[in-house]
């Protein structure tokens, strides 16, 4: 009886697992097929003769530009967010002032609001300062809209640091900047790596800001760029599959290496929400 029960439970979990992973495997499989194989063949069949040229075609079509834009925008926005968020969290948790919880409240507003409500005014503001179709608008919005979640993840760690750290540093004659940059920041490396990876995932996957603020192909990121590609190849399913695989691959690789950090960040951001 006991054993039958366990087998049933495993079947349940297995079905969920197949449901979660199968569409992705199917995607990889059709990215290596010809249209003929996709249209006439069994959807479960593995590609008989993998068509790697689908990937070549997509790179020749210019996906590299989008890929590069995604990379540099993600990296720059992530670095800025973490730096600014760490400074703010330091001032809020470690320094003594009356308005700290009020300021924290303002920062946390960003967690509740629908970004779409701010989209038209943002578009108008960027238009007025000539930042429409300029990647600066993307970097600053990514940075700002990720600040609240980053501060929230850092907050728990910063509050648990012992007070003695500051006392010792200050008695030794260290300045606050030295204390922050040389002691607190290095100490927070473990939690910082969680925020880095969470920021990178958000930035890599962001769609609506790029779709609204950027019109030239040369500045588009992968999430928006793949829309173009799919339009361009319309019926070439192999090329479409290759495009999608290229766009999700970095995240899947990151997940293989940093899954624990990612899960930590995701649950931290949810449970406190």
Partner 1 sequence: MDKVMSNKWIITLYILPALLFIAVLIVIPLLLSGYFGLMDWDGIGAMQFIGLDNYITAMQDSKFWESTLHSFLLAIFSALSLLLYLVVALILASKIKGANFLKKIYLIPMLLSSVAIAQLWIKVYNPSNGMLNSILTSLGVENPPAWLADPNIVLYAIFIPIIWQYAGFYILIYYAALKNIPESIIEAAKIDGASPIQIAIRIKFPLIMTVFKVTIVLAIVGSLKYFDLIYVMTGGGPNGASEVMASYMYKLAFSSYDFGYGSAIGFLLLIITLIVTFIIRKATETKDTIQY
Which residues, 157 to 216, sit near partner 1 by CB under 8 A?
166-167, 170-171, 176-177, 180, 201, 204-208, 212
Instruction: Choose the stretch contacting partner 1; rule: CB under 8 A; options: 49-57, 96-104, 152-160, 187-195.
Output: 96-104
What is the chain's alpha carbon radius of gyration, rounded to the nearest angstrom? 23
Smallest separation, CB 198 to partner 1 (Å): 10
Asked if 144 is part of the footprint of partner 1 (rule: CB under 8 A), the reply reads yes
Interface residue with partner 1, options 73, 88, 214, 242 (CB under 8 A): 88
Among 23, 160, 172, 189, binds partner 1 (CB under 8 A): 23
Q: How far is the CB of 181 from partner 1 (least distance, A)?
A: 11
* Subset of residues 231 to 260 that bind partner 1, contact rule: CB under 8 A: 237, 240-241, 244, 247-248, 251-252, 255, 259
Residue 36 within binding range of partner 1, rule CB under 8 A: no
- Per CB under 8 A, the segment of 56-64, 71-79, 90-98, 188-196 that binds partner 1 is 90-98
Which residue, 1 or 189, is less far from partner 1 as judged by CB? 1
* Beta carbon of residue 60, minimum distance to partner 1 (angstroms, whole number): 20
CB nearer partner 1, residue 171 or residue 189: 171
**Judged by CB under 8 A, which of 38, 77, 139, 239 binds partner 1?**
38
Among 55, 66, 145, 233, the residue binding partner 1 under the rule CB under 8 A is 145
Q: Which of residues 114-133 bind partner 1 (CB under 8 A)?
A: 114-125
Are 178 and 169 a contacting pair, CB within 8 Å? Answer: yes
**Footprint of partner 1 on 44-83 (CB under 8 A):** none
Following CA atoms 229, 247, 266, 202 in sequence, which dihedral angle do they give, to the nearest 10 degrees? Answer: -60
**46 vs 170 by CB, closer to partner 1:** 170
CA distance 187 to 64: 37
Nearest distance, CB of residue 123 and partner 1, angstroms: 8
């Amino acid at each position: 009886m006991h054993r039958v029960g366990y087998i049933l439970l495993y079947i349940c979990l297995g079905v969920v697992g197949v449901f979660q992973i199968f569409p992705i495997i199917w995607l990889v499989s059709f990215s290596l097929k010809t249209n003929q194989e996709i249209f006439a063949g069994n959807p479960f069949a593995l590609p008989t003769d993998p068509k790697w040229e689908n990937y070549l075609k997509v790179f020749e079509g210019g996906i590299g530009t989008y890929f590069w834009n995604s990379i540099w925008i993600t990296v720059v926005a992530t670095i800025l967010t973490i730096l600014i968020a760490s400074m703010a969290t330091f001032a809020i948790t470690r320094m003594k002032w009356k308005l700290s919880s009020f300021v924290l409240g303002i920062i946390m507003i960003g967690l509740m609001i629908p970004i779409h409500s701010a989209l038209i005014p943002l578009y108008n503001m960027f238009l007025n300062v000539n930042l429409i179709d300029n990647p600066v608008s993307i970097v600053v919005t990514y940075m700002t809209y990720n600040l609240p979640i980053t501060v929230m993840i850092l907050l728990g760690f910063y509050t648990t640091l012992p007070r003695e750290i500051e006392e010792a540093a200050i008695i030794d004659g260290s300045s606050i900047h030295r204390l922050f940059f040389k002691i607190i920041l290095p100490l927070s490396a473990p939690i910082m790596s969680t925020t880095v990876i969470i920021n990178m995932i958000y930035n890599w996957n962001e769609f609506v800001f790029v779709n609204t603020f950027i019109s030239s192909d040369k500045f588009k990121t992968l999430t928006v760029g793949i829309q173009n590609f799919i339009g361009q190849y319309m019926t070439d399913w192999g090329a479409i599959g290759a495009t999608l695989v290229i766009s999700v691959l970095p995240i899947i690789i990151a997940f293989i290496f940093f899954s624990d950090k990612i899960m930590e960040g995701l649950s931290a951001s949810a449970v406190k929400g």
